[in-house]
């Protein structure tokens, strides 16, 4: 297996810097973006839209590569059906994001910017990871794929 250490470090630093420069690591800006019925701030929509072009280019480049530069195979997620655990996880993620203005990537970047304010979120995130680890397999085993109706 090829080593990805330095490349992963540079990519992580670039990602963190991008979050900080774009304002996505600022909980107040994120909450203003989510406040669509109040004083909505659309700037993060432009950040997200701006991320789509380089990502589209990256997917096209990836499709032409036999293997990644730093590994033996690509590890891209497969398309899977919508399950109850996916819906519950998405709801919990959205609630946490809306209440705190933080999601995991920006929260980790915020350790350098505002550690005191982000520690409760990081603690809750780690607890959530632990609960998912303990209960995730049981939920996944019980999940039934969502089948959209085919009727008119």
Instruction: Report residue 97 as tokens.
Output: 């994001």
* Residue pLDDT, tens place only, 61-109: 988 998 888 778 887 777 778 887 788 888 888 888 878 778 787 888 7
Distance CA 85, CA 142 (A): 9
Predicted TM-score (pTM) of this structure = 0.59
Nearest-angstrom CA–CA distance, 4 and 70: 5
pLDDT-above-90 percentage for the chain: 7
Q: Where are the domains of the chain?
A: 5-142
């Amino acid at each position: 297996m090829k080593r990805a250490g330095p490349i992963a470090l540079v990519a992580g630093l670039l990602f963190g810097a991008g979050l900080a420069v774009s304002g996505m690591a600022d909980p107040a800006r994120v909450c203003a973006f989510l406040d669509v019925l109040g004083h909505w701030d659309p700037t993060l929509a432009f950040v997200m839209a701006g991320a789509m072009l380089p990502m589209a280019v990256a997917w096209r480049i990836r499709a032409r590569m036999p293997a990644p530069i730093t590994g033996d195979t690509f590890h891209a997620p497969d398309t899977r059906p919508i399950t109850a655990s996916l819906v519950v996880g998405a709801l919990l993620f959205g609630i946490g994001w809306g209440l705190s203005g933080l999601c995991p990537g920006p929260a980790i970047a915020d350790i350098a910017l505002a550690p005191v304010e982000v520690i409760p979120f990081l603690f809750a995130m780690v607890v959530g990871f632990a609960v998912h680890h303990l209960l995730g397999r049981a939920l996944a085993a019980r999940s039934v794929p969502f089948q959209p109706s085919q009727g008119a």
